[in-house]
Amino acid sequence: MNMLDTSGFSCPEPVIMTKKALKDRPASLDVIVDNVASRENVTRYAEATGYSVKRTDKDGKWILSLTR
């Protein structure tokens, strides 16, 4: 499983980082975000590119599990 930790970055950086990580269209990617704006924007971007998103809350952060 691929993992991308975007903690500490504010938008649009987490979306840009996610876009780069999805460049080769992996089957799955876990993206860790630590603010609501990043959570919503990464989710929207992933869904727009054909991924389904499952959100898990963990220690004040969110793990967005992207799968296609």
Q: Residue 58 and residue 39: Cα distance in Å, rounded?
A: 13
Q: Between 3.30.70.120, 3.30.110.40, 3.30.565.10, 2.40.50.100, what CATH number should domain 3-67 receive?
A: 3.30.110.40
Q: Is the pLDDT of residue 1 over 70?
A: no
Mean pLDDT of 52-62: 96
For the chain, which residues make up each domain, given as ranges?
3-67
Please say whether the beta carbons of 61 and 35 come within 8 A: no
Mean pLDDT of 48-65: 96
pLDDT tens sequence across 5-49: 999 999 999 999 999 999 999 999 999 999 999 999 999 999 999
